[in-house]
Amino acid sequence: MVILLRTLRLESTLRMSVCRLAVNLLPLKLLAVSLIAVLALAACNRSTTPEATPSPLPVPATSEVATAIQPTATPTKAPTATPAPSPSPTFDLMTFLATNAAPEGVSPFTGLPVADATVLDRMPAAVKISNSPLARPQSGLSEADVVIEHLAEGGITRFTAIYHSQDAERIGSVRSARLIDLEIPVLFDAFLVYSGASGDVERMIENSDFAPFTLSDERKDPGFYRLDVPGHAYEHTLFTDSEILTRVAEQENWTGPPRSMGWAWSDSPPDDAQPAVAIEIPYSSEYSDVQYDYDSEAGVYRRSILGEPHIDDLTGEQLATPNVVVLYVNHVPTLIVEDLLGSKSVQIQLWEQGRMQLFRDGTVQEGTWTRPRREDPLVFLDEDANALELKPGPVWIEIVPLDMEVTVGE
């Protein structure tokens, strides 16, 4: 940088000297000298400052750094209308995790017992799944233990689905990773399954603490296959399945159960929970607006997108879940370019703590999500720093910006 600045200063000095020489020679009646003067004056009019083109720079993947490279002076901490309560000063995470550890034979991600306890010894798989309108209906989301939905860019959302206690015969379409996928595999002790990433994000994944536990189609890793899906472009034809992922994980010696998540479970909500039979999440009216409507007979929230039932292609049925968790998280724009249109990546700062809402059984409870350190799991607390109790079953986590207005229907 110092050499570059010195070079620019020298170039500027030389140009100014030539300019002065040309001006002094103008009175002479020699054509050649006049021509030199004209050319020198033209050089004077050119800018000596190179165009300020921002270069994509690495965004920190650890919770020690809480800001991202930004194209504008956007505050790193935007205000939220409802401040999240802080856990009690006496709150001890390790004690909390031990107290709320899942019993033997029970999934730590669903709170449900499994028929074959050996499946819980598998390493979870975090699979990146497209939610582009051109990729719907997706396959296998109904068999995931946990589905995390987040904004990508351009108003389109993307999923990272956690597969552990259940098997899906087809999962996809598998798409590229985003910055938030530097956090999710660590949260769930999972290996990441994805189809490449933008250059900077890919480099950060390769340098991350979970780099040895990744499968990428862009690297020609095993675990993927293509299907000719009518009406789907080539980029939405990449799939995997639980059988393949289990086999590859065993070959790679990726074994061992996930740690305690600290998630607690109960069959019914507390008496003071507020009614909530509908949830509207305005990600994008063009691509990704989400609605959940409570089905009291089945005890689940049924998912719609852009006003239409969101279907799993495997079952032909509308996606549904007993738990919808909305996390309000700081979103920070970066200089990382994600596509040919120049869309910029967003850093979703899923660390420290923030406001959350738990929807279950037609009710809503306010709480705090917390993750003090990178190595800690994501836990859900009420105002007294006790565990918010989920309903046994899969969990859909909706990550929204701090200022997004989620509408709750009573």
**Any bridge partners for residue 130, and if so which?**
158
- Residue 85's pLDDT is 55
Q: Find the range with the poorest average confidence among 89-93, 189-193, 268-272, 405-409.
A: 89-93
- pLDDT band at residue 87 using 50, 70 and 90 as cut-offs: low
The tally of CA atoms less than 13 A away on the side-chain side of residue 334 is 28
Q: Which CATH class is domain 93-409?
A: alpha beta
- pLDDT band at residue 21 using 50, 70 and 90 as cut-offs: very low
- Residue 19's pLDDT is 37
Distances (CA, A) of 355 to 46, 361, 406: 53, 20, 12
Q: How many residues are there in the chain? A: 410
Q: Find the range with the poorest average confidence among 50-54, 95-99, 184-188.
A: 50-54
Q: Does the pLDDT value for residue 170 go beyond 90?
A: yes
- Digit-coded pLDDT (tens) for 205-223: 999 999 999 999 999 999 9
Query: What three-state secondary structure class fits 36?
Result: helix
What are the extents of the domains in the chain?
2-44, 93-409
Q: Which of 107, 12, 78 is nearest to 348 (CA)?
A: 78
Q: Does the pLDDT value for residue 326 go beyond 70?
A: yes
Higher pLDDT, 2 or 332: 332
Residue type, 75: P
Mean pLDDT value across residues 314-329: 98
Q: Does the pLDDT value for residue 240 go beyond 50?
A: yes
The two structure tokens encoding residue 403: 């200022």
- Residue 339's pLDDT is 81
Mean pLDDT value across residues 278-306: 98
Q: Is there a contact between 279 and 301 (Cβ–Cβ < 8 Å)?
A: yes
Rounded CA gap, 157 and 10, in Å? 50
Q: Does the pLDDT value for residue 408 go beyond 50?
A: yes
Residue found by looking up tokens 């207005």 in the block: 405
**Which residues are within 8 A (CB) of 355 and not within 5 positions of it... i.e. 6 or more apart?**
80, 82, 83, 84, 328, 366, 367, 368, 369
Mean pLDDT value across residues 134-140: 95
**Any bridge partners for residue 360, and if so which?**
363
Q: Does the pLDDT value for residue 71 go beyond 90?
A: no
Q: Terminal CA-to-CA distance of the chain, rounded, Å?
A: 60
Mean pLDDT value across residues 124-135: 96
Mean pLDDT value across residues 215-242: 93
**Any bridge partners for residue 320, and if so which?**
302
Distances (CA, A) of 129 to 123, 363, 366: 19, 29, 29
* Model confidence, pTM: 0.81
- Residue 99's pLDDT is 92
- Residue 373's pLDDT is 95
- Residue 110's pLDDT is 98
Q: In this prediction, what percent of the chain has a pLDDT beyond 90?
A: 73
Residue type, 360: R
Q: Is there a contact between 309 and 136 (Cβ–Cβ < 8 Å)?
A: no
Q: Does the pLDDT value for residue 229 go beyond 90?
A: no
- pLDDT band at residue 252 using 50, 70 and 90 as cut-offs: very high
- Residue 233's pLDDT is 83
- Digit-coded pLDDT (tens) for 3-19: 333 333 334 433 433 33
**Which residues are within 8 A (CB) of 32 and not within 5 positions of it... i.e. 6 or more apart?**
none
- Residue 84's pLDDT is 54
Q: In this prediction, what percent of the chain has a pLDDT beyond 70?
A: 78
- Residue 314's pLDDT is 94
Q: Does the pLDDT value for residue 80 go beyond 60?
A: no
Question: How much is the mean pLDDT over the chain?
Answer: 83
Neighbours of 93 (CB within 10 A): 16
- Digit-coded pLDDT (tens) for 106-122: 999 999 999 999 999 99
Higher pLDDT, 75 or 92: 92
